[in-house]
């Protein structure tokens, strides 16, 4: 079973892939990826959403690196993924995407599915971190072997 740090490590690249267009994609490029073009006023909120996601991803990266910050990273990741999934699925189920081209719908549905999947995985694997049942992992470094413990690897290894 994956650990919460591994789930966060796999979630972070998907979040970065999701937030890059929100922060950097020009207004004229949205129709190229089959997402309807928005007016300039709406772009302010799209850019603010991207900036908020950058702050959440930085928190999550810090939680993967520093075990003492893991609880805050898990809380921010669960909030981000659960609320993203709920917002996307709200628009899907209430028919706001009827006029969108099929590729744009597919992109948004994939984002909603990934957000829901990561929300569930983070809840299942992070429940111990949230309620303090897990002790923070020993920090990595040359003294980790001297303490008799090996730091947890983010990626599965063959043993």
Average pLDDT, rounded, for the chain = 83
42 vs 19, 85, 109, 111, CA distance in Å?
16, 21, 21, 20
Largest Cα–Cα separation, the chain: 62
pLDDT of residue 159: 61
Split the chain (159 residues) into runs of 10 and give each run's mean pLDDT: 87 91 85 80 86 94 91 93 93 88 90 94 89 57 51 64
Q: Which residue has the tokens 């075990």?
A: 67
pLDDT in tens, 78-118: 999 999 999 999 998 998 888 888 988 898 899 999 999 99
**What pTM was estimated for this model as a whole?**
0.76
């Amino acid at each position: 079973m994956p650990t919460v740090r591994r789930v966060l490590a796999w979630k972070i690249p998907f979040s970065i892939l999701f937030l890059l267009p929100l922060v950097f994609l020009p207004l004229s490029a949205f129709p190229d990826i089959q997402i309807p073009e928005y007016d300039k006023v709406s772009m302010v909120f799209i850019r603010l959403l991207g900036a908020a996601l950058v702050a959440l991803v930085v928190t999550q990266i810090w939680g993967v690196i520093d075990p003492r910050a893991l609880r805050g990273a898990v809380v921010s990741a669960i909030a981000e993924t659960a609320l993203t999934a709920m917002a996307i699925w709200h628009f899907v189920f209430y028919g706001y995407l009827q006029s969108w081209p099929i590729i744009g719908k597919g992109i948004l549905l994939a984002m909603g599915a990934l957000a829901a999947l990561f929300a569930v995985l983070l809840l299942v694997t992070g429940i111990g971190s949230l309620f303090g049942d897990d002790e923070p992992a020993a920090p990595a470094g040359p003294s980790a072997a001297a303490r008799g413990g090996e730091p947890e690897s983010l990626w599965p290894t063959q043993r």
